[in-house]
Amino acid sequence: MNTKENIKKIIVKKPLKLDCGRTINNYPLSYETYGNLNEKRDNAILVFHALSGDQFVAGTNPITNKEGWWSYAVGPEKAIDTNKFFVICANVIGGCMGSYGPSSIDSETNKAFSTNFPVITINDMVKAQYNLLDFFNIDKLFSVTGGSMGGMLALQFVANYPDKTKTAVPIACTASHSAQNIALNELGRQAIMADQNWSKGDYLNTTFSPDKGLAVARMAAHITYLSQKGLQEKFGRKLQERDDLKFSFDADFQIESYLRHQGSAFVDRFDANSYLYITRAMDYFDLTKQYNGNLSDAFKKSKTKFFIISFTSDWLYPTSENKEIVIALNAAGADVGFIEIASDKGHDSFLLDVPDFLKSVKNFLEANY
């Protein structure tokens, strides 16, 4: 892994009162940008990453040396065309790619915060990132967008700052985490905490790390990002580099090998405590409750033009949940478009080469620019 020292970051001086009651200040927020801000400063798109993402949206991630997580969508001439738009993405607070998170050093103890880091929310993340508008001297964004948790962040952004973005494209998300979402996140957290190396969260002060727990969490989560049909078509019962079953617990099947690889690759780039904090933030997300049971009120003041996108095979954030956002927007008289993209690639569709999806994002952004 490369050093994280060269990551771009701002130090936010302005105090931020978190939903949990604690106040933070002088905290780092790391970010990356693509394309150029135009003279009118009206072509900026704030992209929010999902649970396991980071600020490296496109090109080569300098830390992992892999492609940025949204390389299919962001780049010159792509759906989010960096020849036209100035794309900003920040690592969420609670994350582990340079922003203030559980692996940051607590100046009082000179040790990593670990589980002494405050529990943060989607709202806290958005408030922290709002400081980027000041930093880049942008009065109004052209768009906010993101998939999954990124979509939730986009919704929260418009709710908090109704006149600060011209458009919003929340993708494959929800206005409130369902019991199924919470259950699946809890499974991941329990896998991490069941790993003895987690050491009650204090592993950064030991020579071990809860790699196995984090890998299992990632394996379980990864299944939820795919679809039954997609899995069956890609893997079926194909065997992994062998002609027959070995009557053992090795990875006989390709799907087992694939998941193990996903798990171990994730451990190299992600911090276990960050996984706990970010999944918790997602679970706490309930925009409907924030507005006293009426989601429409979240968008009442907004002139933002929305485009909501869901995927047919996404069972993690299904179309029905995305449509609830559309219904609330309609009830508030907001300007909203909606499409359900046909795809067998499950929740992960927004990260993959799904031409209908990429085309609709591009068409929406360019027709409204």
User: Count residues contacting another protein (CB under 8 A)?
Assistant: 23
22: Cβ contacts below 8 Å, ≥ 6 apart: 118
Q: Is 256 near another protein (CB under 8 A)?
A: no
Of the two residues 179 and 367, which places its CB atom closer to another protein in the complex?
Answer: 367
Of the two residues 219 and 309, which places its CB atom closer to another protein in the complex?
Answer: 309
Print burial letters for 158-172: b (CB count within 10 Å at least 16), e (below 16).
Answer: bbebbebbbbbbbbb
Question: Exactly one of 18, 220, 231, 327 binds another protein (CB under 8 A); which one?
Answer: 327
Closest to 60 in 3D by CA, of 75, 45, 49 = 75
Question: Exactly one of 85, 225, 270, 364 binds another protein (CB under 8 A); which one?
Answer: 364
Q: Is 349 near another protein (CB under 8 A)?
A: no
CA torsion through residues 95, 98, 99, 101, sign:
positive
Cα maximum dimension of the chain: 66
Print burial letters for 9-31: b (CB count within 10 Å at least 16), e (below 16).
Answer: bbebeeebebbeeeebeebbbbb
| Of 211, 271, 314, 344, catalytic | 314
148 belongs to the catalytic site? yes
* Cβ atoms of residues 60 and 68 within 8 Å: yes
Least distance to another protein from the beta carbon of 296, Å? Answer: 9
Residues 164-183 that bind another protein (CB under 8 A): none
314 belongs to the catalytic site? yes
Question: Exactly one of 316, 341, 354, 358 binds another protein (CB under 8 A); which one?
Answer: 341
Print burial letters for 218-247: b (CB count within 10 Å at least 16), e (below 16).
Answer: bbbbbbbbbbeebeeeebeeebbeeeeeee
- Rg (alpha carbons) of the chain, rounded to whole number: 20
CA torsion through residues 346, 352, 358, 361, sign:
positive
Q: Is 115 near another protein (CB under 8 A)?
A: no
Q: Which stretch binds another protein (CB under 8 A): 10-18, 65-73, 322-330, 344-352?
A: 322-330
Q: Is 317 near another protein (CB under 8 A)?
A: no
Q: Which stretch binds another protein (CB under 8 A): 173-181, 205-213, 245-253, 352-360?
A: 352-360
* Cβ atoms of residues 23 and 17 within 8 Å: yes
- Residues 353, 360: Cα–Cα separation, whole Å: 13
- Residues 144, 230: Cα–Cα separation, whole Å: 29
Residues 268-307 that bind another protein (CB under 8 A): 305, 307
Q: Is 356 near another protein (CB under 8 A)?
A: yes
* Cβ atoms of residues 160 and 123 within 8 Å: yes
Least distance to another protein from the beta carbon of 170, Å? Answer: 14
Of the two residues 76 and 333, which places its CB atom closer to another protein in the complex?
Answer: 333
Q: Is 199 near another protein (CB under 8 A)?
A: no
Tokens 């009162």 correspond to what residue? Answer: 17
Q: Is 311 near another protein (CB under 8 A)?
A: no
Q: Is 106 near another protein (CB under 8 A)?
A: no
261 belongs to the catalytic site? no
Q: Is 10 near another protein (CB under 8 A)?
A: no
Question: Exactly one of 20, 183, 194, 342 binds another protein (CB under 8 A); which one?
Answer: 342
Least distance to another protein from the beta carbon of 36, Å? Answer: 24
CA torsion through residues 334, 316, 312, 55, sign:
positive
Q: Is 36 near another protein (CB under 8 A)?
A: no
Q: DSSP string of 112-137?
A: E-GGGSPP--HHHHHHHHHHHHHHTT
Question: Exactly one of 37, 231, 331, 352 binds another protein (CB under 8 A); which one?
Answer: 331
Judged by the rule CB under 8 A, the positions of this chain that interact with another protein are: 305, 307, 323, 326-327, 330-331, 333, 335-342, 356, 359-360, 363-364, 367-368
Residues that are catalytic = 148, 314, 347
